[in-house]
Amino acid sequence: MTARLFNTPGPSVYTLPPQSDFLREIATTLRDEFNAVADPDALTRLLILTPTRRAAKALGDVFADLAGNGVALLPLIRPIGDVDVDDPPFEPGELAGLAAPAISPERRRYELARLILAKEKALSRPIGVGGALALADSLAALLDDLATEDVSDLSALQEAVTTYLPADRREAVEFLEIVQHIWPARLAELGLTDGAHRRSLVLHELVARWTRQAPDHPVLAVGSTGSIPAARKLMGVIAGLEHGAVVLPGVDWDADDSAWDSIADDHPQWAMKTFLAEAGVDRKDLPAWPGAAEDHAAERRRRLIAEALRPADTTDAWLKRIAALKERFGETFFSEGMEGLSLVEAPDEISEARACALMLRETLETPDETAILVTPDRMLARRVSAEMVRFGVRLDDSGGAALSETPAGAFLTRVLDAATDCGSVVALTALWGSPLFRAGYRRGQAHTVLAKFEAEALRGARPGRDLAAVRARLDGEFVKLFDEDRAVIEAILDTLETAFSGLLVDGKRPARDWARAHAEAAEALAEDGTGRGAEAVWIGEGGEAAAGLLRSLLEESESLPDMSLADYSAAFGEMCRSRRVAPRLGVHPRLQVLGPLEARLITADRVILAGLNEGVWPPGPGADPWLSAGMRRAVGLGAPERRYGLAAHDFAQLAAARHVIMTRSEKSEGSPTVASRWLWRMKTLARGALGEAADAAFTAPTDYVALSRALDDPGSPPVAAPRPSPCPPVEVRPRRLSITEIRTWVRDPYSIYARHILGLRRLDPADMPPGPRERGSALHDALEAVVPAWTDGIPEDAVAQLVAAAETRLAETGFGPEEMVLERARFERAASWLVSWEAGRRARGITLDKVEITGSMAFDGPAGTWELTGRSDRFDRHPDGRLDIIDYKTGSSSSAKSIRAGFDPQLPLTAAMAEAGAFKALAAGAPAGLYYLSLPGNAEGGKEVRIDGERNPEAAEYVHNALEDLTRWIARFDDETMPYESQIRVQYVNDYGDFDHLARRGEWASAGGESPEGER
């Protein structure tokens, strides 16, 4: 390397202005320098240290790009935070005794979780394995902080605990014994060390070696700010080497003295100021990297941002600084500095994501133009990626997705969910819906058959607690499957039972045994019959990460305690959610979504800084479960504000790009947000310099928020959907309805149209918890099974008989033991009242005749015969042969007014059928009374509700009116022009009609389209 790079007074330290293409400038200058050297291999002996792996890869890509089609001779490029003793600048084995091998992240997590579980147990506060694994992450972060900051003496910790924590919170610090004593001892026992501690040892060894003897090759440290103490020391040594140099990113070398002297931890220049002070370099003498040039616009932008982010205690000098800058650079200084810098404030986070997506998509309209979106907000990044799908673009998101969100991770999680609760239809259908689920069949074949099985047989109350209960639904009353479908379903259920056999084991087992059974189950269920389907679990995005996670459980989890399947499932879910998987294939080469750390030294034609709200960027202080802010300072970890300084440096570097769009949302989850402190500062400075023109200066040339709204704008004002009025031909209209459907027909003809003409039916939710419907069915079944047997009188244990029968039916419909306590008390009260009521009836000579019988009755309509069918709860016979028509209710019953008006004709029509002899099992008889037996099981137990007047019986009148209404209704709908309208009775509108969504009632009803009540 030529002397030009090292011919500086004192240590060789350079800086590159923020708007420079940092890595390209570095690579271009180095190639120019080394091309001038006679030795063609000189560049390969250069060692370049970068701050991150991504920066190292990007620098290598730049060197390759500059080489064009020729052979690219690359220097050694290593991330400064990940220098290994087995890689250059060390020789293999040279420092083998320096540090023990680093413990793997997963192994450390398992070991720390074991120690946390032991501590919690000692404190009589047991937690699950999943919770311990989550807590292990924060404890590992503390260990890394201690190693990074070179804190080895924790003797001040106990004093800090006494000083900063109240007595009732000092119990939490018991866990810090793990950090002080238990964890170091465990690492020594394992012959391993923490990765961060090992890194510090390696960096300190490099410092010592290169201090004693300079390396025989040139060394360049680029892009690091020196925020890590060990790295800062190494950078100082490199700067002093004869063939060494340091390149700092964006040093504010021309800041005024008052601002520079006031720089503290929360300032973007703090880390570099500390490095320059330790290296003995005056920032005013700091040269720019050879070949780097800062044009007119770039200088103004850099100075503007530096002025906006000046130390808080010096902002009182802003007015003087504004005047000084205008005097030096002209009145247009601030307006020129803000050219290419704009702010987009969206009303909510969804609008912000959509606007950001439009900005990225707009970039692609210009050939070869690139863009990066930088944000620490992972949810915002995911929303932007999702919005880009509408444009057919897949983004390269450095943060990736959680393993649990990938096909492989989701499939493995669903396998555990289904195995943990085999009777859950939700868990099973989620597993069946995975693209990796095959169970021995082609994907399309298995999915089609299982979807039909789920819709036909598994909706409503859950089948039971195991796969046997699911299998029993194949023989259910309403299942209509082809024989070949049944065979496929049974084969898939057989495969599920076999696959789950290794997981459905009682008791506790080691994590590695669960992991082995888990992997075997997943492979068995992914097998497609070709012998190669199981491979699909471990390939593709997420597959390798899933395999790595299970491999760590198989090989490194011996420290975890034995656990149940539920504990293993919780632990796997926690690890699956915390492991990130970056996209690999199909991403757009010109667009990237980056976090602030990944974006360091990365440049693009357009830079979008998104999520600029306080608490997001910069991030909030968060909650440290181990050390308070005061305790961190006491043990030497530095102030939490230091994170703000690092974040501010990232922001300042990125905001200095030529074309920058900053975005924020004014609301988040419906609550107002506060703009980032950096935006406040920039706005305040701009208003002071530009006055009322400041807002216009921040305005983007394109109104992206308006465009984002237009994306889903139909182009015309919304028009409410009209009330549907289908008029199908008479020949397809139903000629047969049940008594209970007449109520629906009168109130909501559209439901009859949907059910009987379109052939639709409502699907209950899966795993629907048992409720009033199941309770009512259990009551009906219990009364049907027990009461008719009391022919010789009411037995002494009548109440017990009813309760026992009800309990059996309740258990079958899904009521659990804890719910049964309440239900039993409810049924006991209802049964006691019913037995007393039965005794009173029998004393008056009224006897039970028939229960739960069916019948049918024909009517003559204009279009032909029309049939009414029905099933009655109960008929009681009077001594004179007349009949009481009785309907059981566990909830509310219809009023006499609604029945008289014809809107609830069930009881009168049942009486009409009984009088006409339509029930073959029942001797005909005139109606004596129309009754509801309300049996809610409340304090009263039950209540008799007679619809017709007891003193002046009106049953015959009710029957007559109901028959007239039905005859008229049949005639109306035998007219082809009569429409099947939705919810035609305003007074009796049903807010939860089965087919309201199909009728789009939410649109026309809210728009005032409800029609008045029709004729009876």
Distance (Å) of CA 201 to CA 56, 89, 198, 390? 22, 15, 5, 49
The answer to whether residue 40 scores a pLDDT higher than 70 is no
Q: Are strands 927-934 and 580-581 parallel, antiparallel or unpaired?
A: unpaired
- In this structure, what are the phi and psi dihedrals at residue 810, rounded to the nearest 5 degrees? -60, -40
Q: What kind and span of H or E run contains 861?
A: strand 847-861
Q: Do residues 954 and 984 lie in contact, with contact meaning Cβ atoms separated by under 8 Å?
A: no
What pLDDT is stored for residue 16 in this prediction? 92
What pLDDT is stored for residue 591 in this prediction? 94
Beta bridge partners of 400: none
pLDDT digits (tens, 9 = 90+) for 24-37: 999 999 888 877 66
pLDDT digits (tens, 9 = 90+) for 116-144: 888 888 777 778 888 888 888 888 888 88
Mean pLDDT of all residues in 66-93: 70
CB atoms within 10 A of CB 9: 9
Q: How far apart are CA 481 and CA 475, in angstroms?
A: 10
* DSSP symbols for 703-755: -HHHHHHHHT--SS---PPPPP-----GGGS-SEEEHHHHHHHHH-HHHHIII
The verdict on whether omega for the bond into residue 672 sits within 30 degrees of 0, i.e. cis, is no
List the one residue out of 374, 388, 401 whose CA is nearest residue 612.
374
Mean pLDDT of all residues in 514-536: 87
Higher pLDDT, 253 or 93: 253
Q: How far apart are CA 919 and CA 921, in angstroms?
A: 6
What pLDDT is stored for residue 1016 in this prediction? 36
What pLDDT is stored for residue 54 in this prediction? 82
pLDDT digits (tens, 9 = 90+) for 963-1000: 999 999 999 999 999 999 988 865 555 556 788 888 88
What pLDDT is stored for residue 141 in this prediction? 87
What pLDDT is stored for residue 253 in this prediction? 83
Name which of 206-210, 618-622, 974-978 the model is least confident about: 618-622
Find the helix packing angle between 378-389 and 349-363, rounded to 10°: 60
pLDDT band at 1006 (very low <50, low <70, confident <90, very high): low
Q: How far apart are CA 688 and CA 322, in angstroms?
A: 8
Category of 540 on φ-ψ map: left (φ > 0), alpha (ψ -120 to 50) or beta? left
The answer to whether residue 483 scores a pLDDT higher than 70 is no
What sections of 213-269 are H helices per DSSP? 229-240, 257-261
pLDDT digits (tens, 9 = 90+) for 226-253: 888 899 999 999 999 988 999 999 998 8
Q: Copy the structure tokens of residue 211.
A: 């201090």
Q: Which residues contact 82 (CB under 8 A, 6 or more apart)?
A: 53, 199
The answer to whether residue 476 scores a pLDDT higher than 80 is no
Chain mean pLDDT for the chain: 86
The answer to whether residue 828 scores a pLDDT higher than 70 is yes
* DSSP symbols for 366-402: STT--EEEE-S-HHHHHHHHHHHHTTT---EETT-EE
Name which of 445-449, 602-606, 907-911 the model is least confident about: 445-449
Q: Are strands 864-877 and 883-889 parallel, antiparallel or unpaired?
A: antiparallel
Q: How far apart are CA 519 and CA 639, in angstroms?
A: 45
Q: Do residues 971 and 866 lie in contact, with contact meaning Cβ atoms separated by under 8 Å?
A: no
- In this structure, what are the phi and psi dihedrals at residue 902, rounded to the nearest 5 degrees? 90, 10
What pLDDT is stored for residue 36 in this prediction? 64
What pLDDT is stored for residue 169 in this prediction? 59
Q: Copy the structure tokens of residue 326.
A: 């205008």
The answer to whether residue 168 scores a pLDDT higher than 70 is no
Mean pLDDT of all residues in 336-351: 94
Higher pLDDT, 5 or 420: 420
* DSSP symbols for 28-57: HHHHHHHHTSS-TTGGGG-EEEESSHHHHH
Higher pLDDT, 984 or 827: 827
The answer to whether residue 543 scores a pLDDT higher than 80 is yes
Q: Copy the structure tokens of residue 525.
A: 């269920």
pLDDT band at 1014 (very low <50, low <70, confident <90, very high): very low
Give the SS3 label for residue 862: coil
What pLDDT is stored for residue 564 in this prediction? 92
The answer to whether residue 92 scores a pLDDT higher than 50 is no
Q: Are strands 341-346 and 883-889 parallel, antiparallel or unpaired?
A: unpaired
pLDDT band at 364 (very low <50, low <70, confident <90, very high): very high
Q: What kind and span of H or E run contains 847?
A: strand 847-861
CB atoms within 10 A of CB 832: 17
Q: How far apart are CA 662 and CA 636, in angstroms?
A: 36
What pLDDT is stored for residue 358 in this prediction? 96
Q: How far apart are CA 113 and CA 575, in angstroms?
A: 12
What pLDDT is stored for residue 391 in this prediction? 92
Q: Do residues 633 and 55 lie in contact, with contact meaning Cβ atoms separated by under 8 Å?
A: no
Q: How far apart are CA 164 and CA 186, in angstroms?
A: 29
pLDDT digits (tens, 9 = 90+) for 904-963: 899 999 999 999 999 999 999 999 999 999 998 888 889 998 888 765 567 888 999 999
- Neighbour-count burial for 462-500, b at 16+ CB within 10 Å, e otherwise: bbbeebeebbebbeeeebebeeebeebbeebbebbeebb
Q: How far apart are CA 413 and CA 308, in angstroms?
A: 48
